[in-house]
Structure 1
Amino acid sequence: MAADTIRALLEAAFPGGQVDVLDRTGGGDHFQVTVASAAFDGVSLVEQHRMVNRALAAPLADGTIHELRITTTKGTA
């Protein structure tokens, strides 16, 4: 899965937020994502990560994303 596809899924889930996606190994299945969104205001870190996982549920479920590292920030950066 291309980083652009993951970015598009996250931008759709967190409109107005900032999204950065890094293919960590170049193989298209190990990613580092960073999301800054007002949607995280007042939400625990665990729930923020769950929100990101829900946004990427399809590629996580079908194994397209093998490994995912998540960084979230409240507000917009």
Structure 2
Amino acid sequence: MVIAISKLGEVIRQSFPDTDIKVNDLAGDDDHYYLKIAPKRFFGKTKIEQHKMVYKALEGQFIHTLQLETSA
């Protein structure tokens, strides 16, 4: 089962309440997303570490394609 854009935003906001996020449905199918996030806790982390933190927050959610942009 795919995750709706509203649920994706909710999951990310719960895990990273200290930041604004940008979520776009790239194909209009609740299956291809763009996510931009830059919480303070990413400071000093590599891109790989940042992405792992996001994927851990999304654990158990099915997303076919996630274009992820992170920064500190």
Q: TM-score, normalised by structure 1?
A: 0.85
Equivalent residue letter for 1:18: D
In structure 2, distance between residues paired with 1:4 and 1:36:
19
SS in 2 for 1:4: helix
Map residues 1-77 of structure 1 onto 2, 5 A cutoff. 1-59=3-61, 64-74=62-72
In structure 1, distance between residues paired with 2:20 and 2:32:
20
SS in 1 for 2:63: coil
In structure 2, distance between residues paired with 1:48 and 1:67:
17
What stretches of structure 2 of length at least 5 have no aligned partner? none
- Return structure 1 stretches of 4+ with deviation > 3 angstroms: none
In structure 2, distance between residues paired with 1:11 and 1:73:
16
Query: Paired residues, what number?
Result: 70
SS in 2 for 1:34: strand
SS in 2 for 1:68: strand
Q: Which has the higher strand share?
A: 1
How much is the aligned-residue C-alpha RMSD, in angstroms? 0.9
Give the fraction of aligned pairs with identical amino acids, expressed as a percent. Answer: 31
